[in-house]
Amino acid sequence: MYLTPEEESILGGSAGESAQKAMELIVALGKVYDADRLVDITSAHLSGASYKTIGDGGLKYLEDVSKDAKVKVTATLNPLGMDRDRWAEMRIPEKFANKQLKIIELYEKMGVKSTCSCTPYLGANVPSFGDHVAWAESSALSVVNSYIGARTNREGGPGALAAAIVGKTANYGLHLKENRAPTVVIDADIDGTIFSHSLLGQAAGSMFGASVPYFRNISPDIDSIKTMAAAMAAAGSVAMFHVENVTPESKLYDISGLEVVHIGKKELGEARTTLNTTDDIQLIAFGCPHLTVREITEMAEFLKDKKKIRNDVDIWFCTSSEVRSRCADQVRILERFGPVLADTCMVVAPIESNYQRTGTNSAKAGNYLPTLCSQNVMCRDFAKLMELVI
Ligand code: F3S
């Protein structure tokens, strides 16, 4: 793999120990995946922000790296294990909260923006078409590849942080045009709801794993794209997909000759069945990925004349602090039912300490709640979940 004199010099330690280690990691990945060179990146998005997911080992790692490292590009963070201001309401122990706050401080010391959302492409970190970037967070990186047309591999937390520190990543995988080509065509037959797009992503991800699907017969907006991307990434490691006439690269490839598969009502029903493991719940959590202004507005509209009558079920609405601050009126309505939490989510918060059965309208959460939070899951659309408590 070719390295410029400057890259060789960073590898030799000229920019400090952390930059050297970051470069070593990027070069090692490049060699494994047969990259020809490194490419400059314009931004990074880092996972590994929740104390629940990184633990004391991750905290120690960040303490070491932050001694002499600064990020060279715009870098944002994934959700935390708690709302920074409302963690007591979430029944988070003080010890957890203190460690979580320390993690944020260490990232900020390195110059990372502590916006802490899985939808940074809606405001805090918006790449342009054709940019090379290094993003972790499987749903966000898939949106960036598929809806914006920027280029990223499915980075892990350490890889994305290393790339942010040196401002470069290795040129392989989805950074190369040939690897972004569709591998299967999916003729979808679904209604236009966001929930149906989530189940479509679940069905496609389960069927085709780490493929590059090309969808026809749907016209999703960003709200539906994000939920589809999240479900496909969780169910099948999909990091890139095309939607005919919607995603920017959908016209660049010849899809004749590819296998064509139909996904309709039956497959969506099967997808939903596999995600449902309980018919009773203690918590209903919305916002995986984080709720957008449109979703919050529609939820508030649905709930404005209603009243919560079951007090044995908690409700969380998860979003970014930026979106929450833009929706003050809608938030007032939602808060009659449960807290609108910022910069955290039901999967990376330690909900297993307080709940065993959770309802969600997200197929991604439906995949992860059992494995990462020991939950039994009820997966239904927003209205059907709310009908259980109003
Ligand atoms: Fe975001 Fe948490 Fe879901 S990080 S995509 S809300 S699992």
Q: Quick one: pLDDT at residue 219?
A: 96
4-11 contact pairs (CB < 8 A, 24+): 4/38, 7/38, 7/166, 7/168, 10/166
Name the nearest CA neighbour of 162 among 270, 294, 24, 60: 24
Q: Quick one: pLDDT at residue 52?
A: 97
Q: Quick one: pLDDT at residue 248?
A: 93
Please report, as a single letter, which amino acid is at residue 45.
H
**C-alpha 289 to ligand 1 mean position (Å):** 5
Q: Kindly state if the Cβ of 366 falls inside 6 Å of ligand 1.
A: no
Q: Quick one: pLDDT at residue 210?
A: 86
pLDDT in tens, 11-42: 999 999 999 999 999 999 999 999 999 999 99
Give the whole-angstrom CA distance, residue 354 versus residue 161: 32
Probe target for ligand 1 pocket from 142, 144, 232, 288, with the most ligand atoms within 8 Å of CB = 288
Residue 364 CA: nearest ligand 1 atom is 3
Does residue 232 contact residue 141 with C-beta atoms inside 8 Å? no
Q: Quick one: pLDDT at residue 352?
A: 97
**C-alpha 117 to ligand 1 mean position (Å):** 8
Q: Kindly state if the Cβ of 201 falls inside 6 Å of ligand 1.
A: no
pLDDT in tens, 212-225: 999 999 999 999 99
Q: Quick one: pLDDT at residue 227?
A: 97
Q: Quick one: pLDDT at residue 245?
A: 93
Does residue 380 contact residue 217 with C-beta atoms inside 8 Å? no
CB burial string 118-150: b at 16+ within 10 A, e below: bbbbbebbebeeebbbbbbbbbbbbbbbbbbbb
All residue ranges of the chain with pLDDT < 50 are none
**C-alpha 9 to ligand 1 mean position (Å):** 38
- Cα angle vertex 112, ends 109, 113, to 5°? 115
